């Protein structure tokens, strides 16, 4: 049975890494003592080792150890044998490019589809969808494909921002960008605000957290859904 947490962000303003999710993670990774960390999104260009150490501090609080995928000579075997998997945030283009380079996308999908608990934050959430095309990141590298894990039947837009009526910024809003996406693509997009996540239990998909999410469907006006809303039929 698939067991996935798809979170908008790893860190809320004024809190430590993953602090707002620690209670959820205790149950989510209850059967795992060591979690395999995928550090390739590299926020700010941080090294894989430093990123792994940073994440380890958060998981120590719930009694879990972390080991980076980059530490293994045989990454596919490491993924297959993982007790749990966490893909962190950063740049989605960098992450997806490296996953294709290492030829491990299918290995991750197979492991998660077979029941290995998975956590994604930001870029690690983007790759749970059908494609990475609704990322907010700059295309600083060019992956072989924009297709990602397809663990859920729609796309994710993490860090979704509402228009600020007091802003003097004249550029496109996030909603405008997602409407542009639907000029060329038909899959739905869920805009996750900070502190929200989607819980996947096999075929059941549920919005979690305290905030509403904004849903964009092809040919429809965007609409809001409340916490605990069922997303299982969104495709």
Nearest-CA neighbor of 21 among 61, 78, 50?
61
Tokens encoding 10 = 């790893």
- Which residue in 54, 56, 113, 159 is the catalytic one? 159
Residue 173: count of CB within 10 angstroms of its CB: 14
- Which residue in 10, 28, 137, 196 is the catalytic one? 137
- Which residue in 3, 8, 122, 196 is the catalytic one? 122
Distance CA 11, CA 87 (A): 14
Do 188 and 217 touch, CB atoms closer than 8 A?
yes
Distance CA 202, CA 69 (A): 25
Is 137 tagged catalytic? yes
Distance CA 39, CA 171 (A): 31
Residue 145: count of CB within 10 angstroms of its CB: 11
Number of residues that make up the chain: 235
Strands 189-191 and 155-157: parallel
Is 49 tagged catalytic? no
Is 122 tagged catalytic? yes
Q: Which residues are catalytic?
A: 122, 137, 159
């Amino acid at each position: 049975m698939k067991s996935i947490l798809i979170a908008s962000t790893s860190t809320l303003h004024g809190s430590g890494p993953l602090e707002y999710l620690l209670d959820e993670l205790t149950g989510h990774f209850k059967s795992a003592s060591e979690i395999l960390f995928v550090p390739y999104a590299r926020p700010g260009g941080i090294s894989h080792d430093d990123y792994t150490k940073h994440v380890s501090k958060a998981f120590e609080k719930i009694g879990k150890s972390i080991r980076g995928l980059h530490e293994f000579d045989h990454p596919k075997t490491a993924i297959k044998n993982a007790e749990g998997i966490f893909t962190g945030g950063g740049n989605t283009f960098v992450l997806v490019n490296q996953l294709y380079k290492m030829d491990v996308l299918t290995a991750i999908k197979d492991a998660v589809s077979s029941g290995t608990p998975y956590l994604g934050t930001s870029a690690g959430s983007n790759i749970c969808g059908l494609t990475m095309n609704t990322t907010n990141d700059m295309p600083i590298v060019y992956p072989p494909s924009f297709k990602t894990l397809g663990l859920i039947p729609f796309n994710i837009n993490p860090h979704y921002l509402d228009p600020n009526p007091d802003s003097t910024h004249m550029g496109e809003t996030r909603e405008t960008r997602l409407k542009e996406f639907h000029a060329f693509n038909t899959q739905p997009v869920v805009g996750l605000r900070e502190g929200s996540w989607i819980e996947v239990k096999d075929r059941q998909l549920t919005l979690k957290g305290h905030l509403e999410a904004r849903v964009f469907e092809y040919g429809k006006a965007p609409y809001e859904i409340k916490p605990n809303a069922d997303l299982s039929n969104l495709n």
